[in-house]
A and B are shown apart, each in its own frame.
Chain A
Amino acid sequence: MNYSNPFVAMLFRDLRIAFRQRAEIMLPVIFFVVVVSLFPLAISPDPAVLKSIGPGVIWIAALLSILLSLQSLFRSDFNDGSMEQILLSPFPGSLLMLARIVAQWCVTGLPLIIISPLLGLLLHLETHVIFVLFISLLLGIPYLNMVGAIAVALTIGLRQAGALLSLLVLPLYVPVLIFGSNAVISAANDLPYTGQLLWLAALLVLASTLSPFVISSALRVSCSYR
């Protein structure tokens, strides 16, 4: 069997669906920008203050945007019966789920990463700090997408999924939040930041090797329930 065909078919299907609901895919990015722009209003517009809280603010806002975008992941597939067909296809569920996550990252994670330098400017971060911010998000956000998808796969089909999802996901996001925001803070203080970025990369490798399998078996469990 040729494994690239279903992967590509799944990826393009999801991208096509996402781009036909433009309003929905813009939502996480808009949320990201709005949350970040609230902080100067709530705390202080003083550049010195913004510089010190900036990395943490951007990282938390990115994390919450991803959490927001997770709510709709798998939902329509689960409701319209596509998930059953996906699980009953002769291809490994992990492969198809990897395609699903890559598509999800393209439409929710990538825009956040692209727009983050702009938010760095808004919070008066310096250019080399913005560069580190960009790299840290580039390595960290796919991790958030993948680990989040595990929790979504476990809670899909439950009535109170939203609140439960945050409880399941947020503790698992802690390491990435710590390393990600700390890399940026270190860069701002002219301290070495390579270690933190390498940690993010290591976590990303771990998540991308394990999570597709976990997601597909979690979905199999969730779909066995009506």
Chain B
Amino acid sequence: MEKYKKIILGIESSCDETSAAVVRVKCQMSNVKCFEILSNIVLSQIDIHKKYGGVVPEVAARSHIKNILPVIQGALDEACVSQKDIDAIAVTNGPGLITSLMVGAETAKTLAYLWQKPIVAVNHLKAHIYAAWLQEAKSYKLKAISFPVLALVVSGGHTELVFMKNEKSFKKIGQTLDDAAGEVFDKVAKILDLGYPGGPIISKYAESGNPQAFAFPRPIMDSKDFNFSFSGLKTSVLYKVQEIKRQEQKKFQVSSFKFQENIAASFQQSVVDVLVYKTIKATQQYKVKTLIMGGGVAANKLLRQTMKSEAEKNGVPCIIPEIRLCTDNAAPIAVAGYFGKPIPWQKIDVDPGLDISEN
């Protein structure tokens, strides 16, 4: 059994989270792979960036530099392993902020050289999908993920539908034509003066709002392709907020009853409707056997519930990793490292605009 044992150190720094994780391969039969998280340390910079209303690249890179070694040490300690137990290092090389990516990549390269370990460059978007393999391990049911798989990766920088005929093949079949879903959450939060990050705040306000209060558009929901568009929705919200404010000024009224809550709920419903509708349509057209959803926006409660119930209605098993594995963290990076091919550390290079079909 020993020869199957594989311990991977994952390192992630593509945006504003510094993270390191130690993941152990528990079993690796031809059709079932399962992984155990020995440690997963995530140091978020959200509090630092809050006052700026968004991630500030220069500040992000500086905090990554300061935190990355303690975070890696913390991950090794918590997993009760030392460098000699590590079989491979996996690191995100894109997409993301170049200055942030470089901190993780250069650190990983240095460790690979120093410890003489194989190193794998990981596409961050693929890792969001591989998070599903961690979920399987947790349920203790050694059930294989059946292929083909359709995956929705939905985050602050991306909204993509990906078709996988096996665990190493990624074909993008649709994407946003303008803003990513997470980005409109941030921008709508800004329009409503709710602060940053937008995702959690919007869904909190939405909880006590009426999703039918405003009829916002469901952009390109009926188009034949699997692309998304959220920029026009953002503009519709802006028009509505401006209209309400103008009326308030005229009538010398204070804020309309629950106006922010209702806008938040109606906006969120629009995004969820479009994401779920197109994703389910793609599962039917591509006749997939499993649906996976990952990325930071997959932490949204309404999206999780709706996607799951619609997939079930259509008879497609749906895996959505638990929330802490949807947002940026290094555990899925380590899993992706298992599936990826090691390359000489000298050849590891970051690519801020890396596509999911590459690498």
Say if A and B assemble together.
Answer: no
